[in-house]
Amino acid sequence: MSLGACVLCIEDEPSLRRDLVDELRDAGYRVIEAADGLQGYDMLEREQPDLVLCDISMPGMNGLELLQKLRGSQLANAQVPFVFLTAHGQKHELIRGHDLGADDYLVKPVDFDLLLSLLRSRLRGVRRARHDLYSELQLALEQVDTLSRVSLAERSDPRIDLDTVLEHAVAPVELLLAVSTERGFGSSDHAQTEAANALLAALPPAEALADPRCYRLPSGALAVVLMRPASVAPGGADEATRLLRLQAMATSLQKTIVLAPLVPGTGVSISVFVDEAMMALHQAVRDRISELLVLTPSASDRLRLERHIEASLVQAIERGELFLQYEPKVRLADRQVLGVEALVRWRCADFGLIAPGLFIPLIERSGQIGLLTDWVLDEALRELAVLRQQNQPLLMAVNISASDLKGNLPARIDAALERHGVPPSSLEVEITETAVIRDIERAADVMAQLRQRGVRVSIDDFGTGHASLTYLRTFPIDSIKIDRLFVQHIDAQPVDQAIVRGVLSLAQSLGLRVVAEGVEDRSQLDRLRELGCEQAQGYYFSRPMTAVQLEHYLRNDADGAD
């Protein structure tokens, strides 16, 4: 599998396609898009996506016609997972789609949480299909004679050998990197020698050089130089079969393996090429990925971006690359803006706009989330002070990471409030339900300290972390936010209506405010009003705005009911 699965999104409605692409990219997928079936088929031929997300009703070639053409074609990815989007879900369309080989359906308006869950499931299914080759591979391995032991200490650096091989290459050259043992890097010489022999024995004979070369890199990883058979064309059926066999080998040997094709003429030096492959291997080990990862050019770009994110937060702050946008929280009775949620964005000089769904988890994993949280607090409270001077006494909400709960968060908030002369009651801290249940005692203690200071506390994404409703009785909180998962289909799904009604009833009995997230159309708004919800936020009211746009919006656009 390539790093960052590729999804082809085919949708003729521009606004919906834009929202789908944004959500998928925020979730870390590489996304390509098409406006109709004809464009989509062209993309399928050229881009080799891992999954297709396709509207049914489109001008020109509709989704059903596209799927029929794809499944009957000779394309290497003719059987790629195919998920339909439908606004009506008509029975004859569903039956026709299943007959043609559709894998699943999603009903519009799209529930993005359900979409991401479905994509993860379907991509896992692709990996499981590859495992069907394991038994065949195991039988082949048993028939291979034990190779002579490899003296790793006598092998030269693969950088030197790659240079030599390239001079005489008649087929594409690739570097295969593997963790030396299942324990990872830095194992004993004996264990690495055993691992090297197993790796060489598992390789298809036609792929290794006449004199198989296995090297131990300074980190303890193993490297093998491969010659891809000249008969295997990139993107063809033979290439797909070859990758399936290498994937089966990775799983059979219980190793993390990176396959890095060396593309001539790109100007990338051998040293940089090997370093990037090693970076991919280290990341795969860190993320506990035990499979074949193909280091394509796009995957290399993604790795460079992730490395930049983890290494450049301080410089990004100093260069002014980070900025905040604000999403209003609206009282449904009269559409008055009662507060705003601060959302961090990163416009990088080298990589452009980086999705928060990508950079926030990376920063948290690198241990720098406290620095980012402090910056967001400072910027949000600075803007809140400006709004208060303009007679806009709003409630400013700031998101807090689970990692922030382990530090001296209350003291850091005290200092930020004092710096900007903002009363604690004007700040609301939003903590996700998942973060709370990860360490309930610690979270409850921090929330209690914040409320003692007058800072308001809200549970974000309520309903997705599977916390018991009884916790609401003991948590020191002021409000809860109903996750948009339960809002998306509230006008049509009785179950979602019942859940929201129950949460509202419970919150009312406990004296808690409720804010519904993800309101995107009038029907959702009307149903929330009927159920008694008092506040909401979402694209129906406004997309996130810069500070200047927010100030203009508050002066001119947010002045009464619809």
Q: Provide block-wise average pLDDT over 10 residues at a time, the chain (562 residues).
A: 72 88 84 91 84 89 89 78 78 72 80 79 61 41 34 48 55 69 53 70 56 65 71 64 75 76 65 77 72 78 86 92 96 94 94 90 88 96 96 94 87 96 96 81 91 94 63 83 88 87 87 93 93 94 94 76 48
The domain ranges of the chain are 6-128, 144-307, 312-548
| pLDDT of res. 218 | 62
Pick the CATH number of 312-548 from 3.20.20.450, 3.40.1160.10, 3.40.50.970, 3.20.20.80: 3.20.20.450
Query: What is 6-128's CATH number, 3.40.50.2300, 3.40.50.720, 3.40.640.10, 3.30.70.20?
Result: 3.40.50.2300
Q: Which sign, positive or negative, has the C-alpha torsion 352, 357, 362, 364?
A: positive
Tell me whether residue 339 is exposed, middle or buried, using C-beta atoms within 10 angstroms of its C-beta: 0 to 12, 13 to 18, 19 or more. buried
d(CA 39, CA 319): 40
Query: What pLDDT was estimated at residue 47?
Result: 78
Whole-model pTM: value is 0.66
Q: Evaluate whether 152 touches 230 at the Cβ level (below 8 Å).
A: no
Q: Which CATH number fits domain 144-307: 3.90.1200, 3.30.70, 2.60.98, 3.40.50?
A: 3.30.70
| Residues 102, 107, 108: CA angle, nearest 5 degrees | 130
The domains spanning 6-128 and 144-307 adopt the same CATH topology? no
Give the integer Cα–Cα distance in Å for 79 and 113: 25
The three-point CA angle 152-156-159 to 5° equals 125
